[in-house]
Amino acid sequence: MQMTLDPKHLQGVEPELAQVLSCVASVVGEISGILRSAGSGYCGSMNAFGDQQLEVDVQVDCLIFERLASCSAVQGAGSEEQPEIRTLPGSGYTVVFDPLDGSSIMGANFPVGTIFGIWPGGSPVGRAGRQQVAAAYAVYGPQTILVWAKPRAGKSAVHTAANGDNPNHEDSAGLDAKSAAAAPEAALSNSICSSGSNIHNTHEVHEFLLHPDGSWHLKRVNVAIGPVSRTFAPANLRAAGSNAEYAALVRRWTEAAFTLRLVHSVCRGLKDEIL
């Protein structure tokens, strides 16, 4: 099935970057089709980080590399499964991706996702995440959705990336576990849940829904992470048994009556936070 994206959704985007985003939308549609009948068995190999690979991990990883290699605007790509940057025939951008975030929970039929980061030029190694010119993630569940951040019309990719290298940039990732545990009220407004507030100055963040005919339909525009989140999803919770600061932070969240979200997939968890 041909995956289609209305060109109007890429108006104002530099042609080469528009090619990359179109490629991302197309391959996400293909992955959605694969997952409808994919198995959840292990293939007997491990990735570079020591994680056991599912057959579908390898299948989707190969598919994304193939599609990026066919895009004339992509000169390199790297994956969680193959972290070394692979040189591709195109020129313009490097794409780094997690082919299947949360794939280990596929056997339980939980939602999984794909994450993409797009940098201008060559390897992003040693560069800050805020230097990406665009980014996207997809969630495959009862529906397939795609959320991307692309430069606003009139903001060139190079300009956007250069601004991300501002030495005076204030890291707004929030308080660390120790300070958050000591000042939970401050943690509410200064947590990573509000760290993306400035992205709308340079980027448009839109959500698309994949229809059965393979077409992408704009679902929501200018979505954003809310200024305050009332949910929490602590990773490696058992570490709280040996880390007093982490235990205090989790206790504060619980006492503040936060809602626990435990979905084992970054993409699926993020979907709960955007407005």
Domain ranges in the chain are 7-172+197-224
Phi, psi values for residue 11, rounded to 5°:
-60, 135
Question: Is residue 206 pLDDT above 80, yes or no?
Answer: yes
DSSP code of 225? B
Q: What is the pLDDT of residue 50?
A: 65
Helices 15-35 and 55-69, interaxial angle, to 10°? 150
Q: What is the pLDDT of residue 168?
A: 38
Mean pLDDT of the chain: 81
Gap between the Cα atoms of 270 and 275, Å rounded: 10
Question: Is residue 145 pLDDT above 90, yes or no?
Answer: yes
Strands 93-101 and 74-79: parallel
Q: How many residues does the chain have?
A: 275
Superfamily covering domain 7-172+197-224: Fructose-1,6-Bisphosphatase, subunit A, domain 1 (3.30.540.10)
Gap between the Cα atoms of 136 and 270, Å rounded: 12
Instruction: Give the confidence band of 272 by pLDDT, cuts at 50, 70, 90.
Output: low
| Integer angstrom CA distances of residue 32 from 65, 91, 188 | 16, 28, 35
Question: Is residue 178 pLDDT above 70, yes or no?
Answer: no
Question: Is residue 3 pLDDT above 80, yes or no?
Answer: no
Q: What is the mean pLDDT of residues 98-118?
A: 88
